[in-house]
Amino acid sequence: MDQNQEIINRYIGQPTHLPGDLRSRIEREWSDQPVQLYALADLDSTLQLGESWLALGPEHVALARPGEGGMWDVQSVERTRIRAVRESPGLSANTLLLLGVPNDPPLAVVRYTQRQRGAFENIRFVLDEALAGRTVTSLDADGVYADAVARPVRDAQALVAGRESAVLLRLLGYLTRYRRQLAFGLSAAAVVTLASLVPPYLAGYLIDGVVRRAQEGTLERGAAVSIAWIVVGTMAVLYVLRQTAAHVR
């Protein structure tokens, strides 16, 4: 399962592809011609959620609706009979009509929600191009369908990600007016950290490098007292400096 199919499963909750048994049946009825494009008509004639499929082939268009006993009712129309394609968009429901001879009933009518609009637009584009005398290169039907249905979700995800980046940049922009305070705060935090790390080192030096050596007689008592006062004084200065920096921060 590719990324688009995972998006359809997770966020849309609709089929990720045309059912295999239905596809095989349609292609058999088309004398083994392939299904080139398809879309899910997820609304019925009463605009209730349903599951019908519109499939496009090289020479036919098939509309498959659920029938009795879990079977599919498949109706195929020759593409040569199609004279026009009309779409009636709406806020939540859209209608696609395949028209034949003027004043005759539509050859096919399908209704669908916005979730399937991209897939039906692909079918309409190919039919419009054919009516204009142009052909469209055949693509992977499953891949085109999954891409069309998942695209709105991907676009929304990209938009949200862009907004998150914009929010972060905007918040950082707010700090520019407080550059001075920010610099003082960060500097004070660095001083507090440094002033907290040095005293333990000085205490270790005082015990091991001064007191112990004086007790062992390797350091004169007078020199030891002087060094001890210097170390204690330095620790006191660092304590005052740390408290001041903490207040500034």
Q: Is the pLDDT of residue 91 over 80?
A: yes
- According to the model, what pLDDT value does residue 205 have? 78
Instruction: Please report, rounded to a whole number, the percentage of residues in the chain having pLDDT higher than 70.
Output: 94
Mean pLDDT of the chain: 87
**161 confidence band (pLDDT: 50, 70, 90):** low
pLDDT digits (tens, 9 = 90+) for 73-83: 999 999 999 99
Residue 88 forms part of a structural domain: yes
Kindly state the average pLDDT of the residues 116-142.
93
- DSSP-derived pairing of the beta strands 37-43 and 49-56: antiparallel
110 and 56 within one domain: yes
pLDDT band at 159, cuts 50/70/90?
A: confident
pLDDT in tens, 96-125: 999 999 999 999 999 999 999 999 999 999
Which pLDDT belongs to residue 171?
72
The DSSP element (H or E) to which 55 belongs, if any, is: strand 49-56
228, 152: one domain? no
Q: Are 7 and 154 in contact (CB under 8 A)?
A: yes
pLDDT at position 237 is 84
Q: Is residue 38 situated within a structural domain?
A: yes
176 three-state secondary structure: helix
pTM of the model: 0.65
Q: Give yes or no: residues 128 and 182 share one domain.
A: no
Domain identity same for 57 and 147: yes
Instruction: Give the ranges where 102-216 is alpha helix by DSSP (H).
Output: 117-131, 141-175, 179-204, 212-216
The sign of the CA dihedral 28, 75, 110, 72 is negative
Task: Give the residue numbers spanning the domain of 37.
Answer: 3-160
Q: What is the band of 162 on the pLDDT scale with cuts at 50, 70, 90? A: low
Q: What is the pLDDT of residues 3-33, one digit of tens each?
A: 899 999 998 999 999 999 999 999 999 999 9
Whether 168 is covered by a domain: the verdict is: no
